[in-house]
Every structure is written in C-alpha cells, then in structure tokens.
Structure 1
Amino acid sequence: MSSRTQEGRGPLYRLYINRLLRQIPPAQVPRHVAMMIDGNRRWARQLGYDSAAHGHRAGAAKMREFLRWCDDVGVSVASLYLLSVDNLRKRDSGELTDLIEIIGQLADDLSHERDWRVQPVGRLDLLPDELQRVLRDVAYRTAAHTGMHVNLAIGYGGRGEIVDAVRSIITQHDERGGTLEELAASLTPEQIAEHLYTGGQPDPDLVIRTSGEQRLSDFLLWQSAHSEFYFVEALGPDLREVDFLRAIRDFASRDRRFGG
C-alpha cells in the first residue's frame, strides 16, 4: 500500500476534512462533476505488481469512494471516464480483458449503492456481449432511482458522441419528411445537446483529472465547453477525500465567466 493510501486515518485528518467541509458553501457545490481517473497502471508498476489489473481494481475501488464523496457534498450528477474507444483499440488484449471484467463488477456494485441511477454512456455496441448485458441490467435496475445520477463512460469518445448526435438529428428530421435546407436552417446547439448521450442532464460544472495529466482525452468535449478544470497530482488509486474537497473548495471560489 502506498504512503498516500495510508494517510488520512487519524483524528487530525478528520478535523481537516470537517474544516474543508465548512469552507464549502452548499450553494456553491457543482451540480455535475466529471472525473477522469488516470494513473492506475503507473500505480501498479510503482508498487511492483506484475499486472496492471491490480491498479485498475484499486482505481475501481477509489471510484466507489469518489462517488460517495460526491453524494455526501450534494453533487447531483457524477460522470466517470472508465473506458474510451481508443482504449478498446489500443490496449493489450490481456489487460483489456481484465479491465472489462473490473468495469462490469464496478457497474454492478454501484447499482446496489445507495439510491443512485447508473447510466452507461458510449458506444456500448463495441463492447463484449457479457459487459453489454451487465450494463443493460444495471441501467434497468436503477432507472427509477431518484438519488445521484451516475454516468459511466464506457466505449466512449467525445467526437463520436457528437457525430452520433448529428446522425440522430438527421434521421429524426428525415423521418418527419423535412428537407436538408430546413434542417440546416433550424439546427441549434441546444438541439445537438438534446441528442448527446447525456441529453437532458446539466453540463459538468467541474472536471477533475488525476495523475497530473492536463488534457481532455476526448471526454465530454461538447459538454465541457464552459466547465472548470482541476488537476490532481495523485495517481488515481491514491486520490484522497481531502484532494476532492480541495477541488470543490477551489471551484466554489472561482468567478465563472461563461464565454469570457
């Protein structure tokens, strides 16, 4: 276990947690937080594990914690970037098999956690049949839940999502007998947003990424146009509640200037 994972067990740590919570006005908590957990493989390598699967399992366990932190401070929507389309194409086949199994278990676990509604988003048709089945079951089982909305981005790519949204709009317009000229004249950003995988949800107010990386990696490209970003040096499995609360406190202190 890394030194960072061992931190935060004593009373002084809990006092600091409570102090951070007092510094966050409830009205300034972001409605939608998106998380890009990164560094699972580096974490496993640094600890001497012979397989990246150890890091991915630790990262999945951390995501369960992260979602509880979000729920506890009043976040309404949380989105996790778990598997990109690029991952499906480029990852080693053995690592990908392990990762897909871990993601399926995580999704199932989250469907039994509190009253969360769990929604997979992405090109699920690209996934193995068994994972598709698990994700469909999870979505069905939690569809009526009224707690925090949890998006699991799996087989996801932001550019592909925008393409799929435009295709959906074109198909819908064609079924109604409209012309291309009418579509071109009527197309709006709001219309595209409605046809995204996250249609009807608020855009992310805050995007967090671990491991010190500072890039979007094709995650929620459309939705994050006005998001605030917060980058954490900790590797994914080493993320602590204080890191999360500092991100929320930082967000609450920012003067958001949309379009400026």
Structure 2
Amino acid sequence: MRDLQHVAIIMDGNGRWANARGLPRSMGHRRGVEAVREAVRAAGELGIQYLTLFAFSSENWRRPEAEVEELMGLLKHFIRRDLAELHKEGVRVRVIGERENLSSDIRALLEEAENLTRDNQRQTLVVAFNYGARDEVARAMRRVAAKYAAGEVELEGLTAEYLDEHLDTAGIPDPDLIIRTSGELRLSNFLLWQAAYSEFVFLPCLWPDFDRKAFEEAIADYFSRDRRYGGLSREIAS
C-alpha cells in the first residue's frame, strides 16, 4: 500500500473479552488467534508488506503458569496449523525476541517457521515473541560493544544506524503505523527504538473483536494525517 509499508499491532484485551462474557481467559486467547488469522489475511489483501504482531512479551512470564502454558500451546497450534498456508501464500515469517530461555520445542518451531519461509517475498509476518524493547536494545548494545572491543568498529562508527543494524529488526523498515486495541494508551515496551516516527492509532475494541473493518478504519485514520518527520506540514511548506 502506498506510503504504508509496515503496520505493527499490540494485540490487547483477550482476557477482558472473555471476562465480559463469563468465559475462562483461555477462551479469549483462542478467539484472539482467530483475530490474528484475520489480521494477517487482511494485511496481505491490503498490500501491507510488513505486519508485526506483539504475540508474547518478556513480561508475560509473570502471568499464572496455567495461562502461560495455554499461550505456548496456542503458539504451537498456530504454527502447526497455519505455517503451510502462510508458506503457500508467500508469507515470510520472522521472529524477534529473546530465545535463550525458551524451551527447546518452542525454539525448534520458531526456527522451522523461519527456515521454511525465508525465501518468500509477498509479505513478511514479524512475530514479537518473548520480546521486550529495552531488552532488545540492551542485547544490541552488547553485540556492538563486543565488536568495538574486538576492533571491528571505530568509535566514530558507533552511530544510531550502526546500532539499528544489530537490533532484532535489522533489515525491517520501522513501522509506519502502530495499532493498539482495548483502549489502553501505552506502548508497553514494544518497538521503542523503531517507533520514533510511527503514527499511533488506539482502538477501543478488544483484540478478539478486531476485524478487517477495524483494520481499515485504523488505516484511514493514518492516511488522514500529515507525517512531517520533524519538518513542516505540507500546507505550511507550500
């Protein structure tokens, strides 16, 4: 889509959706997976080349053990059920986040998804899993520091662009638009570095209710704005 290459979404509200209906939180997460499928499909049809989904944050480990196990099971189910279809549709899967403390079966599934789809070019689905933006920047800084200590880069070369190349998102354009559902008005440690000039749309709907109509409304809101990147608006400049 013209001028909208990358959309990132903070998928929030599964638990509240379930609570409002007197259902266990697990049902909200399961319905949320259906919303994921719809979002991926809609993004592809709308010509959005990069779609990043905040699937599981590094802080989510603090949730009850049973809920964490449910989320891990849903991830496994999603990959096993949907990976072949994503591959068939030309979707490349890219996973960002810390992997060292993940179980071996989860790491293997994530690597399988990436390896199978790495040559696909129609669309890139970025899954932020066990992800925290501060941790991402800290890990990137450690990589850069190691290269500096090894003499691979001079002090003058330690630029913002150089650090950007060592983030989990290296090679992925910064998000043009970040959408958050559930009415919360915060980033929650998501893409802090990359969001420097992103536009934000905060939707009142809970994630399981997110559909193509809500997606298109967020995009329409985005296109109604004048992105200046620190410069003048088009009206003033003219």
TM-score (norm 1): 0.84
Q: State the Cα deviation string for residues 31-70 of structure 1 (Å, max 9, x = none).
A: 0000111000011111111x21111111111011101111
Q: CA deviation at 1:253?
A: 1.7
102-111 or 219-228, which deviates more: 102-111
C-alpha contact 1:38 1:211 (8 A) present in aligned 2: yes
C-alpha contact 1:117 1:149 (8 A) present in aligned 2: yes
C-alpha contact 1:126 1:155 (8 A) present in aligned 2: no
**Quick check: 1:219 aligned with 2:190?**
yes
The correspondence for 2:31, drawn from 45, 58, 71, is 58
C-alpha contact 1:108 1:138 (8 A) present in aligned 2: no
Structure 1: any 5+ residue segments left out of the alignment?
1-25
Number of equivalences: 228
**What amino acid sits opposite 1:96 in the alignment?**
V
**What amino acid sits opposite 1:72 in the alignment?**
E
C-alpha contact 2:38 2:211 (8 A) present in aligned 1: no
Compute the RMSD of aligned alpha carbons: 1.4
Q: CA deviation at 1:110?
A: 4.0
**Quick check: 1:148 aligned with 2:123?**
yes
Q: How does 1:16-27 map to 2 (within 5 A)?
A: 26-27=1-2
**Quick check: 1:253 aligned with 2:224?**
yes
- Residue 171 of structure 1: SS of its match in structure 2? helix
Classify 1:177/1:39 alpha carbon distance in 2 versus 1 (closer, same or farther; 3 Å).
Answer: closer
**Quick check: 1:123 aligned with 2:94?**
no
Q: CA deviation at 1:177?
A: 5.7
Q: Distance in 1 between matches of 2:130 and 2:203?
A: 24
Q: Distance in 2 between matches of 1:177 and 1:195?
A: 14
Identify the residue that residue 150 of structure 2 maps to in structure 1: 175
Give the share of equivalent positions with the same residue, in percent: 37
**Quick check: 1:39 aligned with 2:10?**
no
Q: Distance in 1 between matches of 2:148 and 2:118?
A: 28
Structure 2: any 5+ residue segments left out of the alignment?
232-238
The correspondence for 1:137, drawn from 112, 128, 135, is 112
**What amino acid sits opposite 2:211 in the alignment?**
R
**Quick check: 1:161 aligned with 2:136?**
yes
Q: State the Cα deviation string for residues 70-104 of structure 1 (Å, max 9, x = none).
A: 1111111110001111101x110000001111122
- Residue 132 of structure 1: SS of its match in structure 2? helix
Q: Distance in 2 between matches of 1:27 and 1:97?
A: 40
Q: Distance in 2 between matches of 1:66 and 1:27?
A: 19
